[in-house]
């Protein structure tokens, strides 16, 4: 046994892949991650501001739930974020990194705004809305098509391509709003007098249509991915292009088609933002939702109902943080910090679902030496 004294240390901890973790573990790990993140955030709040974190969280809760108006705002923001997440789902399921949602939303919104401005007084309402929807969908689809075509044809890196397309979109939007505003200092609300192209108020709520559209999309996309032939093809292509070719799936066509859909839904989201929410367009109309939605879509593993849950969590945090900001005269950037910390924890927690740790000492020594 002399050899054992000079035995070098077994690694402190080793990592092995876990097969399929049971649902209970998945839920427990994620809940623990969010709880831990909230504790970290509470520490941050306490040390920076000296405020009692518990009461801060109570105020935060009020950001979404204190009044019906607040809640409707939260639902409005939720619908925007979720809509983009839904748009990204098929692309991500195909393992196509569409980082360009921000730009796709912007061009969709721009198309809507242009039609509102230039046809708002000449077209009857149904035709106007039809034109707005078609225009926004076409613009978004085009923005999705370009990188997809190059990826399909030349295998051009889509992550970087779609990222760059965001800024091309931003420039075009800046240019067009500049033209639309003419001599005015800013574009302001479109068709303020006529309200042409504004989505109507339903049930006394301004955002009803936005919410309904996104609700329908949530179910539709879930069904599309799970039950349609297209969805099946997307799943095969995402898993292995070789298998897809073997199965006779035209990989290029599926890639382009899926990105057309992804871009089109982003464009539609642009329509909802301009016609149903802001009634104007600017370079910040998408408000970073295009990037946040990437995280939402990824964390939800392309399941649109999980996406709704995660979107709600993020919107709840964001609204809560701005509530804190106004209540304690902090600034709203606190929301970014709190969101960032929570995202870090959720991202990190995936590890504990997919892998297990083997600690030193668990390694069984051989007996009978």
Partner 1 sequence: MPNTQYAIRLEHITKTFGDVTANHDVTLEVRRGEILSLLGENGSGKTTLMNMIAGIYYPDEGEIYVGDQAVDIRSPRDALALGIGMIHQHFKLVDVFTALENIALCMEPGEKYDLKKVRSRARAICEKYGFALDLDQKIYEMSVSQKQTLEIVKVLYRGADILILDEPTAVLTPQETEKLFAVMSNMKADGKAVVIITHKLHEVLSISDRVAILRRGEYVGDVATKDADEALLTEMMVGKKVELDIDRPLPVNPVRRLSVHHLSVTGPEGGKVLDDISFDAYGGEILGIAGISGNGQKELLEAIAGLQNADGGAQIQFFAPGTEDKPTSLIGKSPKDIRDAGIHLSFVPEDRLGMGLVGSMGMTDNMMLKSYGSGHSPIVDRKAPRELAEEIREELGVVTPGLNTPVSQLSGGNVQKVLVGRELAASPIVLMTAYAVRGLDINTSYTIYRLLNEQKKKGVAVIYVGEDLDVLLELCDRILVLCGGKANGMLDARTTTKEEVGLRMTNLQQTKEVRA
Partner 2 sequence: MSSLIAWILRAIPFGTIIMYGAMGEIVTEKSGNLNLGVPGIMYLGGFAGFASAYFYENSVANPNPVLSVLIALICALAASALGGLIYAFLTITLRANQNVTGLALTTFGMGVANFFGVFILNGSTYSAAPLANKAFAAKIPVLSGLGVLGQTVFSYGFLAYAAIVLALVLHWFFTRTRAGLNLRAVGENPATADAAGINVTKYKYLATCIGAAICGVGGLYYVLDYNQGIWATTGQIEALGWLALALVIFTTWKPLNAIWGAYLFGILYWLYQFLPSILGITMSSAMTDLVQMVPYVVTIVVLIAVSMRRKKEDQPPAHLGLAYFREER
Binding site for partner 1 (CB under 8 A): 3-4, 6-11, 14, 16-17, 19-20, 227-233, 235-236, 239-240, 242-243, 245-250, 363-364, 366
What does 248 interact with, of partner 2, partner 1, none (CB < 5 to 8 A by kind)?
Answer: partner 1
* Residue whose token pair is 């076409």: 138
What does 12 interact with, of partner 1, partner 2, none (CB < 5 to 8 A by kind)?
Answer: none
Is-contact 110 103, C-beta < 8 A?
Answer: no
Which H/E stretch holds residue 358?
Answer: strand 355-359
What does 10 interact with, of partner 2, partner 1, none (CB < 5 to 8 A by kind)?
Answer: partner 1
Is-contact 274 281, C-beta < 8 A?
Answer: yes
Structure token pair of residue 122: 């000449």
Burial-class residue 360 by CB neighbours within 10 Å (0-12, 13-18, 19+). exposed
DSSP 3-state of 16: strand
The single residue among 66, 201, 348, 357 that binds partner 2, judged by CB under 8 A, is: 348
Identify which range of 34-42, 105-113, 211-219, 284-292 contacts partner 2 by CB under 8 A.
284-292
Identify which range of 13-21, 52-60, 65-73, 196-204 contacts partner 2 by CB under 8 A.
13-21
Closest approach, Cβ 170 to partner 2, in A, equals 8
CA neighbor of 289 nearest in space, from 78, 140, 92: 78
Q: Does 161 bind partner 2 (CB under 8 A)?
A: yes
How far the first Cα of the chain sits from its last, in Å, is: 7
What does 42 interact with, of partner 2, partner 1, none (CB < 5 to 8 A by kind)?
Answer: none
- Residue 66 or residue 178: which is nearer to partner 2 going by CB? 178
314 Cα distance to chain centroid: 10
Spatial distance between the Cα atoms of 48 and 58, rounded to a whole number of angstroms: 18
Is-contact 303 255, C-beta < 8 A?
Answer: no
The single residue among 37, 53, 77, 97 that binds partner 2, judged by CB under 8 A, is: 97
Structure token pair of residue 192: 């303020």
Angle between helices 251-273 and 125-154 (to 10 degrees): 140
- CA-to-CA dists, residue 299 to 88, 139, 141, 343, angstroms: 12, 28, 24, 9
119 Cα distance to chain centroid: 31
Is-contact 273 286, C-beta < 8 A?
Answer: yes
Per-residue x/- mask for partner 2, residues 286 to 325, rule CB under 8 A? Answer: --x--xx-xx--xx--------------------------
Identify which range of 59-67, 171-179, 184-192, 201-209 contacts partner 2 by CB under 8 A.
171-179
How many residues interact with partner 2 (rule CB under 8 A)? 55
CA triple 269-304-310, angle to 5 deg:
90
Structure token pair of residue 296: 């939402």
178 phi/psi in degrees, rounded to 5:
-60, -45
Q: Does 155 bind partner 2 (CB under 8 A)?
A: yes
What does 335 interact with, of partner 1, partner 2, none (CB < 5 to 8 A by kind)?
Answer: partner 2
CA neighbor of 309 nearest in space, from 22, 21, 26: 26
- Residue 183 or residue 229: which is nearer to partner 1 going by CB? 229
Closest approach, Cβ 233 to partner 1, in A, equals 8
Closest approach, Cβ 16 to partner 1, in A, equals 8
Closest approach, Cβ 174 to partner 1, in A, equals 40
What does 350 interact with, of partner 1, partner 2, none (CB < 5 to 8 A by kind)?
Answer: partner 2
> Which residues of the chain form contacts with partner 2 (CB under 8 A)?
15-17, 48, 97, 99, 150, 154-157, 159-161, 163-168, 170-172, 174-176, 178-179, 284, 288, 291-292, 294-295, 298-299, 330-331, 333-341, 343-344, 347-348, 350-351, 354-355
């Amino acid at each position: 046994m002399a050899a054992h004294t000079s035995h070098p240390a077994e690694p402190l901890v080793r990592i092995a892949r876990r097969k399929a973790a049971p649902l209970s573990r998945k839920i427990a790990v994620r809940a623990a991650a969010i709880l831990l993140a909230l504790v970290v955030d509470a520490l941050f709040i306490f040390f920076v501001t000296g405020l009692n974190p518990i009461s801060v969280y109570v105020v935060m809760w009020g950001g979404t739930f204190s009044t019906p108006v607040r809640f409707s705002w939260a639902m409005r923001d939720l619908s925007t974020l979720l809509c983009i997440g839904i748009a990204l789902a098929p692309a991500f399921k195909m393992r196509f990194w569409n980082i360009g949602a921000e730009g796709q939303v912007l061009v969709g919104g721009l198309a809507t705004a242009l039609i509102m401005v230039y046809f708002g007084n000449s077209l009857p309402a149904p035709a106007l809305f039809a034109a707005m929807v078609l225009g926004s969908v076409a613009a978004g689809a085009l923005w999705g098509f370009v990188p997809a075509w190059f990826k399909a044809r030349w295998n051009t890196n889509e992550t970087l391509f779609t990222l760059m397309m965001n800024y091309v979109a931003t420039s075009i939007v800046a240019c067009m709003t500049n033209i639309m505003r003419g001599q005015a200092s800013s574009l302001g609300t479109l068709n303020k007098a006529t309200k042409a192209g504004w989505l109507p108020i339903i049930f006394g709520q301004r955002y009803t249509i936005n919410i309904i559209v996104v609700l329908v999309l949530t179910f539709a996309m879930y069904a599309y991915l799970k039950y349609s032939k297209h969805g099946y093809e997307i799943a095969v292509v995402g898993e292995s292009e070789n298998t897809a070719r073997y199965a006779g799936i035209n990989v290029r066509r599926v890639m382009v088609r899926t990105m057309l859909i992804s871009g089109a839904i982003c464009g539609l989201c642009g329509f909802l933002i301009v016609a149903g929410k802001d009634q104007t367009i600017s370079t910040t109309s998408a408000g970073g939702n295009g990037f946040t939605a990437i995280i939402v879509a990824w964390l939800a593993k392309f399941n649109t109902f999980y996406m709704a849950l995660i979107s709600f969590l993020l919107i709840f945090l964001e609204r809560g943080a701005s509530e804190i900001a106004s209540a304690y005269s902090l600034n709203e950037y606190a929301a970014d910090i709190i969101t960032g910390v929570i995202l870090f924890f959720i991202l990190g927690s995936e590890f504990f679902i997919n892998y297990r740790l083997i600690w030193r000492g668990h390694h069984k020594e051989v007996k009978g030496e």
